[in-house]
Amino acid sequence: MTQEILNRNRRTIFPLLGAVTIGAIAVVGSATTAKAAFTPVSRNKSELMLEQSPGVLGKIRQTLFSISSEQATFAKRGFYPTNHQTQQHLERIGKTFLEGYQIAIALSNPDRVIPQLNRIESEYRGFAFEGAAMGLALLDCLTFSNCARIKQFLATEGQNHIYMTYVGMGWLLGRLPRLFLQSQFNLFEKAKDDASHTPDSPTFRDPLLGWLTIDGYGFHQGYFNWRTYVQGILPPQNLSGYSCRVFDQGLGRSLWFVKGANLDAIQVAIAQFQPDRRADLWSGIGLACAYAGGVEKAAIEGLRNLAQSYYPELAQGVTFAAKTRLRAGNLTENTEIAAQILCGMSAQKAAAITDSCLEDLSYGQTVPAYEQWRLRIQQHFI
C-alpha cells in the first residue's frame, strides 16, 4: 500500500511541473567563462558527514522523485543483447547519470553537490554532472527559483561540464507533460533568434549551446521510449524545423545504448529512418562512440566504413566528444583512439577544430548558429 501511494505521488508530482514556468529550460544557462573562486575549507569528519547528509527535506525529495538504478539496465530497458563487458560499461554509464541526479535531488545546493560528483571516477564523472543538471533543473522548476541552481552550477565547476549540463537539462524536458512541454519549446524558438548573443557576451538565453537541451531530449526519448522513436521511427511530435534535427542527433546517441554498441544493429536501425534523418543520427553515433565508448579498437575502425557518405557527420560527433572531455579534464583512451581513427588526428586537435569553427558565427539568421558550427566542422572531413 505504501509503495502504491509513493508511485501515485510520483505520477502526480511530475505532471505538476508543467504548471511551473521554467523560464527557458532549453536555453537557460550561459556560455559565460566566469568562474566563482572555489577556496577549500578545512572541515572535520563530523562536519563533512553533515554536509553530505541530505537532511529531512532531501530525503523527502528522494522519496518523491527518485529513479531506480534498475531503469538503466539492459533487462529493464529491453536493449539489444551485447557482450558482457560492453553491457556492464553502458549500464554503469546510465547508473552514474542516475547517481548524479540523486545527489542533486538530495543535496539541492550546487556547492554541496559538486564535491560529491567529483568523487566519481573520472571516466564516468561527466555523466554524473549530466544527471545532476537534470536534478537541479527539476528543483529550480519546483521552487520558482528562476534557474538559480543551474546558474550557480554553471558559475562554478559545472562550467567545465557545460555541454553535459545542457544535455542533462534536456532530460527533464522528457519528463514534462506534453501541454506544458510545448510552451517551453516556444520559448526556445524565441531565444534562438537572439542576434545580440556572442560567445563573449554571456546571457542566460544561449542560442548556441541551448540546442544541446534538445539533443538531451532526443536521447531521453530514444533511451526510455525506443520502441516508439527507434523501432517505430516516429519523429518528435512536439518539435518543428531545425529542432527535429538536433533531436535526431540525441536520438542517434541513444542508439549506441539501445543497440548495445553493436555496429551492425546500429547500421540496420539507421537504415530504417527516412534518408533526411540519417546524417544527424550518424552525428550522434560518432559522439556516443567517442564519449561513451565500450567497444574495441577494431569496432571503431569499422565504424567509418559503415557510415559511408555520412562520414563527415560521424567525425563531427567525434570532435564534439573530444572537446567535451578535454574541457572537463577527463579525456579517456577510448576518446583518443576514436579521434585518431575517425578524425585522423589527436583528440586535442579534433577539439581545436570545434574551437576554431566557433569564430564569427552569425546569430539570428535562417541557419541557426549551432548548425553553422556543425557544418563548419563537417567541412574539415569532406
Gap between the Cα atoms of 36 and 323, Å rounded: 22
Residue 195 or residue 5, greater confidence: 195
pLDDT of residue 204: 41
- CA dist., res. 345 & res. 333, Å (int): 14
The predicted-structure confidence for 207-258, as pLDDT tens digits, reads as follows 799 899 999 999 999 999 999 999 999 999 888 899 999 999 999 999 999 9
pTM attached to this predicted model: 0.84
Task: Give the type of residue at 253.
Answer: R
Contacts of residue 10, Cβ cutoff 8 Å, sequence gap at least 6 = 64, 65
* Bridge partners for 184 per DSSP: none
Higher pLDDT, residue 194 or 153 = 153
230-237, Cβ contacts within 8 angstroms, sequence gap of 24 or more:
230/254, 230/255, 230/258, 230/269, 233/272, 233/273, 233/274, 235/277
Residue 104, amino acid: A
User: What is the reported pLDDT for 104?
Assistant: 96
Q: Give the pLDDT confidence score for residue 206 in this predicted structure.
A: 76
What one-character-per-residue DSSP string does 279-343 give? Answer: HHHHHHHHHHHHHT--S-HHHHHHHHHHHGGGHHHHHHHHHHHHHHHHHHT---HHHHHHHHHHT
Of 56-70, 151-165, 237-251, 330-344, minimum mean pLDDT range: 56-70
Please give the helix or strand (H or E) that residue 150 lies within, else none.
helix 148-155
> Residue length, the chain?
382
- Tell me which residue range forms the domain holding 341: 2-379
Q: What is the pLDDT of residues 169-210, one digit of tens each?
A: 999 988 877 666 666 666 665 655 555 544 433 334 577 998
Residue 59 pLDDT level (bands cut at 50, 70, 90): confident
Q: What's the average model confidence in pLDDT over 10-22?
A: 42
* Number of domains the chain is built from: 1
Summarize pLDDT for 282-338 with one digit per residue, the tens. Answer: 999 999 999 999 999 999 999 999 999 999 999 999 999 999 999 999 999 999 999
Taking a C-beta distance cutoff of 8 angstroms, is the pair 189, 70 a contact?
A: no
Mean pLDDT, the chain, as a whole number? 84
Is 129's pLDDT higher than 50? yes
Comparing CA positions, the residue from 235, 318, 240 lying closest to residue 284 is 318
Do the beta carbons of residue 65 and residue 138 sit within 8 Å? yes
First to last CA, the chain: 60
Residue type at position 114: I
d(CA 328, CA 144): 30
DSSP conformational letter for 109 = S
Query: What number is the average pLDDT over the span 255-270?
Result: 98
Q: Residue 38 pLDDT > 80, yes or no?
A: no
What pLDDT does 55 receive? Answer: 78
pLDDT band of 23, cuts 50, 70, 90: very low
Cβ-in-10-Å burial (0-12, 13-18, 19+) of 138 comes to: buried
Residues of the chain with pLDDT > 70: what percent?
Answer: 79
pLDDT category of residue 42 using cuts at 50, 70 and 90: very low
Write down the H helix ranges in 17-147. Answer: 45-52, 55-65, 74-77, 84-107, 110-117, 122-142
pLDDT in tens, 99-118: 999 999 999 999 999 999 99
- What cell was used for 111? 556547492
pLDDT of residue 147: 85
Helices 55-65/2-16 angle, 10° precision: 90
CA torsion sign for 65, 68, 71, 76 is: negative
Please give the Cα distance from 53 to 47 (Å, whole number): 10
Percent above pLDDT 90 for the chain = 68
